[in-house]
Amino acid sequence: MARYVFITGGVVSSLGKGLASAALGSLLQARGFSVRLRKLDPYLNVDPGTMSPFEHGEVFVTDDGAETDLDLGHYERFTGVPARMTDSVSSGRVYSTVLEKERRGDYLGKTIQVVPHVTNEIKEFLHVGEDEVDFMLCEIGGTVGDIEGLPFFEAIRQFSHDKPRGECIFMHLTLLPYLAASGELKTKPTQHSVKELQSIGIAPDILVCRSEHPIPDKEREKIALFCNVRKDAVVAAYDLKSIYEAPLAYHEQGLDQAVLDAFNISPAPKPDLRIWNDVSDRIHHTDGEVNVAIVGKYTQLEDAYKSFKEALTHGGMANRVKVNVSWVDAEVFDSEDAAPHLEGYHAILVPGGFGERGTEGKIKAAEFARTRKIPYFGICLGMQMAVIEAARNVAGISTAGSEEFDHEAGGKRFEPVVYHLKEWVQGNAKVKRKTGDDKGGTMRLGSYDATLTEGSKVAEIYGTTSIEERHRHRYEVDTKYRAQLEEGGMIFSGMSPDGKLPEIVEWTDHPWFIGVQFHPELKSKPFAPHPLFADFVRAAVEASRLV
Ligand code: GLN
Instruction: Go through the domains of the chain in sequence order and give each one's CATH number.
Output: 3-7+12-279 (3.40.50.300), 286-546 (3.40.50.880)
Q: Dihedral angle at the C-alpha atoms of 254, 260, 263, 267, nearest 10 degrees?
A: -130
Q: How far is the centre of ligand 1, averaged over its atoms, from the C-alpha of 322 (Å)?
A: 29
Q: How far is the centre of ligand 1, averaged over its atoms, from the C-alpha of 352 (Å)?
A: 6
Spatial separation of the C-alpha atoms in residues 274 and 316, rounded to whole Å:
19
Mutate to test the pocket of ligand 1, among 61, 363, 381, 517 (most ligand atoms within 8 A of CB): 381
Q: How far is the centre of ligand 1, averaged over its atoms, from the C-alpha of 112 (Å)?
A: 39
Q: How far apart are the first and last CA of the chain?
A: 58
Spatial separation of the C-alpha atoms in residues 377 and 385, rounded to whole Å:
11
Atom of ligand 1 nearest to the CA of 382: 8
CB atoms within 10 A of CB 380: 23
Mutate to test the pocket of ligand 1, among 58, 406, 475 (most ligand atoms within 8 A of CB): 475
**What is the pTM assigned to this prediction?**
0.93
Positions of the chain with pLDDT under 70: 299-300, 547
**Across the beta sheet with 466-473, what order do the strands follow?**
322-329, 289-296, 347-350, 376-379, 513-516, 502-507, 490-495, 444-452, 466-473
Stated length of the chain: 547
- Asked if 293 contacts 340 with a C-beta cutoff of 8 angstroms, the reply is no
pLDDT at 300: 67
- SS3 state at 102: helix
- In this structure, the residue with its CA closest to atom 6 of ligand 1 is 473
Of the candidates 2, 546, 60, the residue with the CA atom closest to the CA atom of residue 290: 546
Q: Is 403 in the pocket of ligand 1 (CB under 6 A)?
A: no
- Asked if 387 contacts 477 with a C-beta cutoff of 8 angstroms, the reply is yes
- In this structure, the residue with its CA closest to atom 9 of ligand 1 is 352
Atom of ligand 1 nearest to the CA of 475: 10
Q: How far is the centre of ligand 1, averaged over its atoms, from the C-alpha of 12 (Å)?
A: 34
Per-residue model confidence as pLDDT tens digits over 394-408: 999 999 999 998 877
Q: Is 471 in the pocket of ligand 1 (CB under 6 A)?
A: no
- In this structure, the residue with its CA closest to atom 8 of ligand 1 is 352
Spatial separation of the C-alpha atoms in residues 321 and 288, rounded to whole Å:
5
CB atoms within 10 A of CB 213: 15
Spatial separation of the C-alpha atoms in residues 530 and 536, rounded to whole Å:
10
Q: Is 416 in the pocket of ligand 1 (CB under 6 A)?
A: no
Catalytic residues: 380, 519, 521
Q: Is 529 in the pocket of ligand 1 (CB under 6 A)?
A: no
Spatial separation of the C-alpha atoms in residues 315 and 294, rounded to whole Å:
14
With left for phi above 0 and alpha for psi between -120 and 50, is residue 13 left, alpha or beta? beta
Atom of ligand 1 nearest to the CA of 418: 10
pLDDT at 439: 75
Mutate to test the pocket of ligand 1, among 387, 404, 407 (most ligand atoms within 8 A of CB): 404
Mutate to test the pocket of ligand 1, among 473, 516, 518, 522 (most ligand atoms within 8 A of CB): 473
Q: How far is the centre of ligand 1, averaged over its atoms, from the C-alpha of 475 (Å)?
A: 6
- In this structure, the residue with its CA closest to atom 7 of ligand 1 is 352
pLDDT at 299: 67
Q: What is the DSSP letter of 297?
A: S
Q: How far is the centre of ligand 1, averaged over its atoms, from the C-alpha of 476 (Å)?
A: 8
Return the bridge partners of 449, or none: 468
